[in-house]
A and B are shown apart, each in its own frame.
Chain A
């Protein structure tokens, strides 16, 4: 069968449109793009660590870390929570961290976190928060030093370098 020039052009145009539709259908927005991690890394000088994530007086999560491994910590992801629970474009969380050494429990100052969300509950800013002992020589990546969270009770140690580090995704 011999195709005329006009028929061939029409056929090519249909194929092109069909490929465009396929490409559009294949594109699925990836929710995993947002990291939204909150992680408290246990200092080597304490036996274990507890992290409580609170929203409006209700405890969302209580996470523990007892591991001796480096970079191990208690972990919470705020992305899914904020997606369904944000109000007036804001998702407010407070984080309480405690250290345990022998039979003592040492509480660190509360850290308040406010996440801006859009009308669908998606966080406007994509960032993660890490609580860790700060030593610039040992931390890599693009991060912002927010504040230090030294406990008032120094029974387990002063931990003057326990810091809040904000990592913004670009």
Chain B
């Protein structure tokens, strides 16, 4: 049995050695070049977006101003801010593609949140404030994209899946939050998942589409030291919640 195993090992070793010897010099060079390429991508699209920020009450007492009574509510929330609308966006990616399959990139871009912004001081309040606005959200990040099929004869060649982690600056939110006495951080972390397909239009250029889904986390209040009356409260910084959701499509131009 041991002899058979040694024989199989020797045969496999010989066959591999013979394959390498037989490989032409030109093909060897080509393989080395195939390992890494530069990768650029520009895409434009739009997403349907909803955002929801709120702080869970820890004391659970609500001052009912109409009846001028204190009400205990174990499901009380305050500083409630929400958004619903559309977000057209522009994105650029630059990086490298490894073995023609795995793209690693940095991502820069921005989107505009166009829609209705709503504010409520306490969840039991009947009054709600609403504003229609357009707010710019620049971002930067990094990500990975995987092209599983590279055989151009395959009709599914150019199919990809990817994920990008982004830091988004929530411009213009701070001013609006302060107007209603709400103090959330003006940035959030966005995790985007996408899948799509590209078609070659020349040796290096491709065009395609992608479907995207993204979730934004963060938006907690800033911490301040000590006890203060008439200053904004501190929210637990470890309390990471899913604040925003986005789903949409994009047209993509790729150079690789």
- CB of B162 within 8 A of chain A? no
- Interface residue ranges of B53-69 to A (CB < 8 Å): 57-59, 61, 63, 68-69
Known contacts A134-B61, A137-B78; is-contact A158 B233 (Cβ 8 Å): no
Complex-state Cα separation, A10 to B78, whole angstroms: 67
Q: Which of A128, A137, A143, A161 has the most CB of B within 10 A?
A: A137
In-complex Cβ contact of B70 among A41, A141, A142, A160 (8 A) = A160
- CB of A78 within 8 A of chain B? no
Known contacts A141-B226, A148-B70; is-contact A134 B63 (Cβ 8 Å): yes
B79 touches A160 (CB 8 A): no
Residue of A nearest to B226 (CB): A141
B68 touches A160 (CB 8 A): yes
Complex-state Cα separation, A69 to B231, whole angstroms: 14
B233 touches A71 (CB 8 A): no
Give the residues in chain A near B231, CB-CB below 8 Å. 138-140
A142 touches B78 (CB 8 A): no
Q: Is the interface of B mostly helix, strand, loop or mixed?
A: loop
Give the residues in chain B near A148, CB-CB below 8 Å. 70
- CB of A13 within 8 A of chain B? no
Counted as pairs of residues, one from A and one from B, with CB atoms less than 8 Å apart, the total is: 70
Complex-state Cα separation, A165 to B228, whole angstroms: 11
Residue of B nearest to A138 (CB): B230
Complex-state Cα separation, A142 to B234, whole angstroms: 8
A141 touches B228 (CB 8 A): yes
Report the minimal beta-carbon distance from B251 to chain A, rounded to whole angstroms. Answer: 44
In-complex Cβ contact of A161 among B70, B224, B226, B228 (8 A) = B70
Q: Is the interface of A mostly helix, strand, loop or mixed?
A: mixed
Residue of B nearest to A73 (CB): B229
Known contacts A137-B181, A148-B70; is-contact A71 B230 (Cβ 8 Å): yes
- CB of A75 within 8 A of chain B? no
Interface string of B13-53 (1 = CB under 8 A from A): 00000000000000000000000000000000000000000
A138 touches B229 (CB 8 A): yes
Known contacts A158-B68, A160-B68, A161-B70; is-contact A136 B78 (Cβ 8 Å): yes
* Size class of the contact patch on chain B: 20 to 34
In-complex Cβ contact of A41 among B63, B181, B229 (8 A) = B229
Residue of B nearest to A139 (CB): B229
- CB of A30 within 8 A of chain B? no
- CB of B100 within 8 A of chain A? no
Known contacts A136-B78, A160-B69, A160-B70; is-contact A145 B61 (Cβ 8 Å): yes
Give the residues in chain A near B114, CB-CB below 8 Å. none
- Interface residue ranges of A114-145 to B (CB < 8 Å): 128, 130, 132-143, 145
Report the minimal beta-carbon distance from B211 to chain A, rounded to whole angstroms. Answer: 40
Task: Write 29 A-B pairs (CB below 8 A) sorted by A numbering.
Answer: A41-B229, A70-B229, A70-B230, A71-B228, A71-B229, A128-B227, A130-B227, A132-B229, A133-B229, A134-B70, A135-B63, A136-B59, A136-B233, A137-B78, A137-B233, A138-B230, A138-B231, A139-B228, A139-B231, A140-B224, A140-B231, A140-B232, A140-B233, A141-B224, A141-B234, A143-B227, A148-B70, A158-B68, A160-B63
